Structure 1
Amino acid sequence: MLELVSIGILIGRTLMDEYKKIRRTYPQLMVYLLR
């Protein structure tokens, strides 16, 4: 049970990191495409 929780936290953290990266690069992508 505890292992599942730690795995979930790990996955959640990686997803958050990826989400932040995407949010940082997405506006730049939009500007690049709309230019």
Structure 2
Amino acid sequence: MKSNGTKRRQRIATIVVAIVVIAMVITTVAPMMM
């Protein structure tokens, strides 16, 4: 097990991935809504 630093970085990476996925969903759904 490593120190807390790795856990925080992993959490940040997860948040970034979630933001990217949400952005992709918005860009694909927005034209349909228009």
TM-score tier (shorter): 0.7 to 0.9
| TM-score of the aligned structures, taking structure 1 as reference length | 0.73
| TM-score of the aligned structures, taking structure 2 as reference length | 0.75
Gaps of 5+ in 2: none
Give the percent of matched residue pairs that are identical in Structure 1 and Structure 2.
13
Q: Which has the higher helix share?
A: 1
Gaps of 5+ in 1: 31-35
Runs of 4+ in 1 over 4 A off after TM superposition: none
CA RMSD of aligned residues (A): 0.7
